Amino acid sequence: MANHIEGRVLRRGDYRYESLRRDACWHAGVPDRYPEVIVLANNEDDVVGAVKLAGEEDLQIAVRSGGHSWSGSHLRDGTVLIDLSNLRHVTVDKEAMTGTAQPGIKGSELNSMLAEKDLFFPTGHCTGVSIGGYLLQGGFAWAGRDYGPACMSVTAIDAVTSDGERIHADETRNADLLWAARGAGPGFFAVVTRFHVKLYPRKRITMNSGYFWPASAARDVYGFVHEIGRQTPTEINLMCNRDPMTNDEPLISLNATAFTDTEEEAREQLSVFESCPAHAHVLTTRLNEVTDTATLSRLGTDPHYDETKHYLADNMWTHAAFDDLWPNFEAMLKTWPPAPSHMVLYNWGGHEGQPERPPMAFSVEDELYYGLYAAWSDPADDRKYTDWVTNHMRAWEPYASGIQLADENLVNRPYRFVSDENLRRLDDLRATWDPHGLFVSWLGGPKPGADAAGVSGMRRKRTVDP
Ligand SMILES: Cc1cc2nc3c(=O)[nH]c(=O)nc-3n(C[C@H](O)[C@H](O)[C@H](O)COP(=O)(O)OP(=O)(O)OC[C@H]3O[C@@H](n4cnc5c(N)ncnc54)[C@H](O)[C@@H]3O)c2cc1C
């Protein structure tokens, strides 16, 4: 019954229900899906109460930590929405290099707490994202190439199961639930109330260089990043978006960030970008600036995410040759949506020294990551930009090895986000942990039998061995 719950319990039609529902989604494109009840949990007992309430009222359960799911996956009809944004407690044990964090804390907040103690955790590139949804779906982080998907650094979880039991899952107790929590994302079938994590020493130097080109240089710049992306230890963020620097035509910007212990090492790493074949056409540069991830988020990434706009995201992992991607990209450049719509290309995997992956649900990744994000103001444009993003990502499917749940567009384009084997195991575990199907699962879901799709015909990009 709702009287077990200390936090707010709002039902459809209640005063403030609609503002809480809208606030649960970070951008203006709030989906037309209506939970029956929203529980704003104050503590872990409230989560137990909310799970029991769902069982009593024959409703399903959806969970929200920070509401940064692009598709608003947590907003579902016929559910109790358990909102964990007030569960924000963090502990740090510097000696043991471990910590705990509740799901409502934002990655940026966690990292600034850790920075004061010279520690680091691989949190996401934007300021607002909470760790709940971020860690469950994988976690594509600052310096992520050095640490792997952030869920690899989760050593245990505290969770509330579908029968309202509070449990702990680690490598020895309830190990299958920990396995699932590392990558199931919105398909997870329990409520995580606390993550136990490994912490790392903070590298002394974060150094960033930026290069900016007109779209006419796109083919050379993207070809270069496809060539060197795997070899360089530096994190590369190649972005395309309309910008005043190019009179609102698409601009290509390369942001390279080195995480090192000495300035010399960082400068050495960043010098590789001087050899980009498009160097002669560069509009402007910012070279070798010593900075930190909070500043990089604030000045570099955050301005592309405006909560007053409607957004749609989609993405792919690939190791394709850029020549194969170029025809679709060339077509996109001619019809690029208004700012702050953008596309990012990150180098990610396949490099020397990449950390070994533990057994975990997260199982699809590749050398390069493309994320495509359309942003618009007028709801009348919903179809136009949904089609623009979805159709352009669909055109790249022959070159994709899968997608990342971080930027999923499963409603419009179901695609492979875990291996078929892991998908089967997740389904089996769901049947065990949530036998009555209380928890909602992926919105739209994976493409069945998708292991066979895409990758087989992909022409590998040429590689330059170090
Ligand atoms: C502006 C922006 C920037 C982003 N940048 C990055 C980035 O740099 N790297 C990256 O990897 N991702 C990034 N993302 C994607 C983001 O990590 C995912 O959307 C993630 O799900 C957001 O976490 P959240 O807690 O805010 O999600 P929510 O929207 O609250 O949750 C998403 C889903 O996760 C599940 N869930 C959340 N919390 C829990 C819990 N405690 N227990 C059980 N299930 C839960 C629910 O099924 C829910 O539907 C970004 C998204 C946005 C909008």
| Residue nearest to ligand 1 atom 31, measured at CA | 133
Q: Using the mean position of ligand 1's atoms as its centre, give its distance from the Cα of residue 438 in Å.
A: 20
- pLDDT bracket for residue 466 (50, 70, 90): very low
Q: Which atom of ligand 1 is nearest to the CA of 150?
A: 11
Which atom, in ligand 1's list, is nearest to the CA of 311?
53
Output 452 or 461, whichever has higher pLDDT.
461
Q: Give Cα separations from 232 to 146, 287, 352, 353 (angstroms).
A: 12, 17, 9, 11
Region 37-65: mean pLDDT is 98
**What's the confidence (pLDDT) of residue 444?**
86
| Residue 393 CA to ligand 1 centre (angstroms) | 21
Q: Which residue has the higher pLDDT, 204 or 350?
A: 204
Name the token pair of 303.
């301005």
Name the band, by pLDDT with cuts 50, 70 and 90, for residue 4: confident
CATH class held by domain 205-407: alpha beta
372 alpha carbon – ligand 1 mean position (Å): 17
pLDDT tens-digit profile of 364-378?
999 999 999 999 999
Mean pLDDT of 321-338: 98
pLDDT value, residue 345: 98
Helices (H), 4-163: 17-23, 44-57, 107-115, 131-137, 144-147
Q: Which residues of 91-101 are buried (b: 16+ CB within 10 A; e: fewer)?
A: ebeeeeebbbb
CATH architecture of 2-83: 2-Layer Sandwich (3.30)
Query: Per residue in 398-457, pLDDT tens?
Result: 999 999 999 999 999 999 999 999 999 999 999 999 999 999 999 987 765 545 444 444
- DSSP-derived pairing of the beta strands 205-214 and 235-242: unpaired
Considering only CA atoms, which residue is closest to atom 37 of ligand 1? 133
Domain boundaries, the chain: 2-83, 90-202, 205-407
| pLDDT (0 to 100) of residue 456 | 40
Residue 447: per-residue pLDDT = 64
- Closest residue (by CA) to atom 41 of ligand 1? 192
Do 102 and 88 form a contact (C-beta atoms < 8 A)?
yes
Confidence category of residue 352, pLDDT binned at 50, 70, 90 = confident
Query: In the CATH scheme, what is the code of domain 90-202?
Result: 3.30.465.10
Q: For ligand 1, what atom is nearest to the CA of residue 138?
A: 11
The set of protein residues with a Cβ atom below 6 angstroms from ligand 1 is 26, 62-70, 73-74, 84, 103, 124-126, 129-130, 132-134, 136-137, 139-140, 185-186, 188, 191-192, 305, 406
Dump pLDDT digits (tens) for 260-272: 999 999 999 999 9
Average pLDDT across the chain, whole number? 94
- What is the predicted pLDDT for the residue at 465? 33
